[in-house]
Amino acid sequence: MFKFHPAWAGLALIVLLLGFHQYQIHNNPCYGVLRLHVVANSDSPRDQAVKLKVRDSILDLMQARFAGVDDPREARQIAAANLKDIEWTAAMTLAASGEKYPVKACLGNFEFPTRFYGSQVFPPGEYTAVRVVLGEGNGRNWWCVLFPPLCLGDLNGNGNLPPEGIEVRLKVWEALQHNSWILRMASNQ
């Protein structure tokens, strides 16, 4: 017969918390994600329309560069190696649209709000991103997940997927279900 002892309860709690922590790290969408963030020159309708043209040209460029890539580190390396090409592509798109303001692309870690992509929820936090600033960079921005390529299904004009398909889930319950041995251990007391 199992006798309750505070040390066993403490050990079980530590194991549970460590398992939950590992589950969170493994299933955190922030890890292994490369976002694209395009910031418009201003909020004028023209600058906002140009921003979307730049977005499309960058997505076309990077889709070809990411073909066959399935490793997030490799995707970040490819993005870093292509920053000048991204700037050039954006500058050519601006020129074709009759705009003369500068473009600056960089790769770094930036804060993003909560974002929904179909049934996936990306919580607010710091993500690695390719940030492209057009001109003064004072306008509304557009962002998506560049790698893995979730941007391609996200082109409805405003960067937001429709809310249908959003699923509310309780992470603690998912973790407990994932670690069903904890439930079995608890029920065998």
Query: What are phi and psi for residue 160, nearest 5 degrees?
Result: -120, 135
Quote the CA–CA distance of 183 and 189 in Å, as a whole number.
11
Quote the CA–CA distance of 135 and 39 in Å, as a whole number.
9
Q: Could you tell me the pTM of the whole model?
A: 0.67
Three-class SS state of 131: strand
Domain extents in the chain: 32-153
For 93-119, the pLDDT digits (tens) are 999 999 999 999 999 999 888 887 777
- Position 144 scores a pLDDT of 85
